[in-house]
Amino acid sequence: MPPEDVPKLVEAIRQGETDVAVGSRWVEGGTDIAHGLMARVLSWIINNFAMLLLGRKVHDYTSGFVAARSEVLEKIRLKGDYGEYCIDLLCRAARLDYQMKELPYVCVPRTSGESKTGINLWDYLSKGRKYVSTIVMLWFNRKG
């Protein structure tokens, strides 16, 4: 998410529009021009798998860009050591009926620093495995 777009997430919370604001590449107005075809396809697969098992309140479970009211984060402690924290947080917030809002953004190439996203197929599959296992665990641990 471009740094200039981050305040939009915080503002949605401050204005009382939502409990959880998510930057989304996969809603109208958002896209990903930073990553190659392989990364975009794998992201699409993982996000659609998450929507199938966890619900369609969110279209970009792997966004990583989230702002939330303090009481949400007090109730839901972050779990994970990579991006799976985002899937877990968004799923549990939806299950607790917190209001969710996705704000579109265009994922652009980095201008500095190093990405933790994979640089080859093995990296993508290794990190994707964590995402898939988190999704399956959350599905098995659903209530009702």
List, for residues 50-82, the tens digit of each pLDDT value: 999 999 999 999 999 999 999 999 999 999 888
Instruction: Name which of 120, 105, 137, 101 is nearest 24 in CA terms.
Output: 105
pLDDT band at 112 (very low <50, low <70, confident <90, very high): confident
Provide the 3-class DSSP secondary structure of residue 53: helix
Predicted TM-score of the model (pTM) = 0.90
Q: What does the pLDDT read at residue 144? A: 46
